[in-house]
Amino acid sequence: MDKPNRVSVADMEALYEKCSVNKTTTLSVGGRDDKFEFVVKRRLNAVEVSGIVETVCNGVVDAETGAYHPEFKDYFLRMAVIKTYTNIDLPDNDKCWNLVYGTPVFARVVGHENRPVIFEGRDYDDRMIDVEQYEQILSAIDQKIAYAITHDHVIQRRCIDSVQKNNVGRVLNLDDKS
């Protein structure tokens, strides 16, 4: 029986180049006089995907205290998406909140027909980014947050159990000596 020929790395890279003709696109918001232009990446690499997931998860679940802040998930997602998918610099201060919620940039970047994003009454469903990859990012964020919360509860429970066992042992030792 003949073995099928293996496809080379060079062949796969050539196919990738053919399939990835639109690696970035330039979008604009506003009219002629107040036009704001920015570049959007269609697809992210593994490091960039991981960066979005880490940013959102670290903003929602505090690694040191285990505090859970689901109310910040949307904000950190918007901020990480704008910083990673576009060439837009955002400040690391309170102004960032206004910029991510007060402009249609996020809506323009992630809106698609299955998940339109509404900004000031307009549905944005432009399919600018790789929708499948974005959906996987959202799934990874939810999974990592769930893991962090569950893992933190497990560690806390073990600590409490350990303290209780030590205290019970001390009480029993005291009782035994009297």
pLDDT tens digit sequence for 12-55 = 888 888 877 668 888 888 888 889 999 999 999 999 999 999 99
Residue 52 counted as domain residue: yes
Three-point CA angle 124, 84, 142, nearest 5°? 75
What is the per-residue pLDDT for 61?
93
Domain encompassing residue 149? 15-166
101, 50, 140, 107 alpha-carbon torsion, rounded to 10°:
20
> Which is more confidently placed, 170 or 125?
125
Q: Does residue 5 form part of some domain?
A: no
127 domain-assigned: yes
* Mean pLDDT, the chain, whole residue set: 84
Q: Is residue 33 part of a domain?
A: yes
Asked if 115 contacts 121 with a C-beta cutoff of 8 angstroms, the reply is: no
| Residue 172 resides in a domain | no
- Is 178 part of any domain? no
Instruction: Spell out the alpha helix ranges (H) of 3-72.
Output: 9-19, 46-60
Dihedrals phi, psi of 6, to nearest 5 degrees = -80, 145
Q: Is position 34 within any domain?
A: yes
Does 42 fall in a domain?
A: yes
Query: Domains in the chain: how many in total?
Result: 1
Radius of gyration over alpha carbons of the chain, in Å?
24
Cα separation, 99 vs 113, in Å, equals: 24
